[in-house]
Structure 1
Amino acid sequence: METAIAFISGSLALLSDAVHMLTDAFSIILALVAMRLAARPAKGTYTFGLKRVEILSAQANGLTLLLAAVWLAYEAVVRLLHPPEVTGWMVLATALTGVAVNLAATWCLSKANRSSLNVEGAYQHILNDLFAFIGTAIAGVVVMTTGFARADTIATLFVVVLMVKAGCGLLRDSGRILLEAAPAGLDPDAIGDRLAAAPAVAEVHDLHIWTITSGEPALSAHVLVHPGGDCHAVRRDLDQVLAESYGLTHTTLQIDHEDDAPHPAAASASPAAVGAPTPHCANGHGPTHRREPHAH
């Protein structure tokens, strides 16, 4: 209906709102499907289950917003150069109806669990659509009162800016999760130094902090304990530190005793290498965190 009115009234702003609402419907359907898939238990080769489907859904939502924004921006530039006639009252009436509908939809989604990037993606779609309808309503008033047809196109560009902002945000946040980046607010180096400073700990390496899906951070690390140290007690202490100080409860810590003997490769490399910290892993990945000598 809105698309038909957009063509009849000659309003690109209404057409942009119609496109935006179409992407809204797509995002909500995609979010519901992703949530059902993510709820399935882990089994077979999918050891984390299908939790990342939510992140793929957020990526798809962000991409649809950007693609629609590119098309609308092109159409807006054309209409700025050659503005068509726009029927202001039709634009205003349709936009006010859209404001009412999207106010209700925004309120409903605001009550959902928005810690999920998937749900947040759908919410951003609806919220941006609300702002877009408000801008279109203002453009309709301007066209009605002044006859300035380019106001409709300016409203479209406003919608484009909102779509680009939301799309880039979704792609950025979902991309960080897919690339296994540490969750925002957690500094792996600071956490590694904190763990290495714990009693009986000699070294922490192969430290990885990532997000399985929205709201589910995880950590794994290889921890070397001084000879004679209690590995089980160290693991319990480190788990407590990670949970209480950083909110990390999904942790996997490999605890081993430090090898007193120097690594053969290190000893043969140079005399200075004898007595240097033992490289416990031949192909370590990530920085090594060791307690300062005076802290032993």
Structure 2
Amino acid sequence: MRDHAHDHGGGHDHLPKNERAIGIAAILTGTFMLAEVAGGLISGSLALLADAGHMLTDFASLMLAWLAFRLARRPADAARTYGYDRFSVLAAFVNGMTLFVIAAWICWEAVQRLREPVEVMGGLMLGVAVAGLLVNIAAFYVLTRDESENLNVRAAALHVAGDLLGSVAAIVASLVILWTGWMPIDPILSVLVALIILRSAWAVVRESGHILLEGAPRGFDQEEVVRALREDVAGVTGIEHLHAWQVTQERPMVTLEVETEAGCDRDRVRDEVKALLNERFGLGHATVEIR
């Protein structure tokens, strides 16, 4: 006879707060994006156009992230026994990949501008860039004020951070143009922002990809878990088929088979194993099979 223990607590209390933050950031980003596009076209600034293009994808990414939270609120069903939580991880992965595309476009356009310099209206560029900086600071604050560990929120915050850096670069470029008339500063600073974006994008893609590939939770040490269970739970003689993964960053899972001494209390062993996994390793959802 085999005993199974399941804990299907969804842990969605964080969703409304994160969802609201994403929604506010989307409204701020989408509204200002139109002004930045107009400013970039009129002034001729690549830095502004690059930032506007980034804000366009940010708006789409934020809306995708918002949709992910909406879907995550739906209950699990027979076809999706874990619910829709992982859609937020998929959204984070897509958002990270779009950052690579944006950075590549900025670099390509910068090379063209260096070959054939374009006259930039520094005054208009400066005004739009300062306004963009204020909007991005507001959006970034909304997304980071609660220090959310949600990967989807982090991906959205990185998008906005890239915009914020783009606004700073545009301000610096506009000031250089106003003071010196040196136009190459515009594409040069655009490339610098693109490289910073790439570094952040790689972190999001790597982590979300790890979750999608059923990788173990961050810091999980299989040998340490096995040693703790054998040493600290009376009656345990062996651990087999130990697997740990994450539905989302906040929902780590573990399954394992526990071999026990003959005649020991299986219910006690099961309860102590689950308690140890939760308290010491943060694995609150455990499926434990006793043999």
TM range (shorter): 0.7 to 0.9
Does 2:80 correspond to 1:46? Answer: yes
Asked if 2 retains the 8 angstrom alpha-carbon contact of 1:182 and 1:188, the reply is no
- Report the equivalent of 2:257: 222
Shift of 1:138: 0.6
Distance 1:128 1:143 in 2: 22
Does 2:128 correspond to 1:108? Answer: no
Letter in 2 for 1:127: A
Does 2:171 correspond to 1:170? Answer: no
Asked if 1 retains the 8 angstrom alpha-carbon contact of 2:58 and 2:156, the reply is yes
Map 1:1-296; keep pairs closer than 5 Å.
Answer: 1-112=35-146, 114-197=148-231, 198-256=233-291
Distance 1:62 1:4 in 2: 26
Distance 1:56 1:151 in 2: 37
Distance 2:212 2:227 in 1: 26
Distance 1:5 1:107 in 2: 24
Moved more, 78-87 or 232-241: 78-87
Asked if 2 retains the 8 angstrom alpha-carbon contact of 1:140 and 1:152, the reply is yes
User: Is the partner of 1:66 in helix, strand or coil?
Assistant: helix
Distance 1:54 1:228 in 2: 45
User: Is the partner of 1:215 in helix, strand or coil?
Assistant: coil
Asked if 2 retains the 8 angstrom alpha-carbon contact of 1:218 and 1:249, the reply is yes
Shift of 1:64: 1.1
Shift of 1:145: 0.4
Structure of larger gyration radius = 1
Distance 1:38 1:244 in 2: 26
Distance 1:201 1:45 in 2: 35
Asked if 2 retains the 8 angstrom alpha-carbon contact of 1:16 and 1:159, the reply is no
User: Is the partner of 2:288 in helix, strand or coil?
Assistant: strand
Alignment deviations for residues 143-163 of structure 1 (CA, whole Å, 9 cap, x no partner): 110111111011211221132
Shift of 1:114: 2.1
Between the aligned residues of both structures, percent identity stands at 39
- Report the equivalent of 1:267: none
Letter in 2 for 1:221: L
Highest relative contact order (Cα 8 Å, sep 6+), 1 or 2? 2
Alignment deviations for residues 257-289 of structure 1 (CA, whole Å, 9 cap, x no partner): xxxxxxxxxxxxxxxxxxxxxxxxxxxxxxxxx
Shift of 1:228: 2.1
**TM-score normalised according to structure 1 size:** 0.83
| Structure number having the greater helix percentage | 2
Distance 1:55 1:33 in 2: 12
Alignment deviations for residues 225-257 of structure 1 (CA, whole Å, 9 cap, x no partner): 12222211111111121111111111111011x
Distance 2:161 2:148 in 1: 13
Asked if 2 retains the 8 angstrom alpha-carbon contact of 1:113 and 1:119, the reply is no
Letter in 1 for 2:271: R
Shift of 1:112: 4.8
User: What runs of 5+ residues in structure 2 fail to find an aligned partner?
Assistant: 1-34
Distance 1:157 1:140 in 2: 15
Distance 1:139 1:187 in 2: 48
User: What runs of 5+ residues in structure 1 fail to find an aligned partner?
Assistant: 257-296
Distance 2:223 2:135 in 1: 48
The number of aligned residues is: 256
Distance 2:227 2:110 in 1: 53
Displaced runs of 4+ in structure 1, greater than 3 A? none
Distance 1:163 1:87 in 2: 26
Shift of 1:217: 0.8
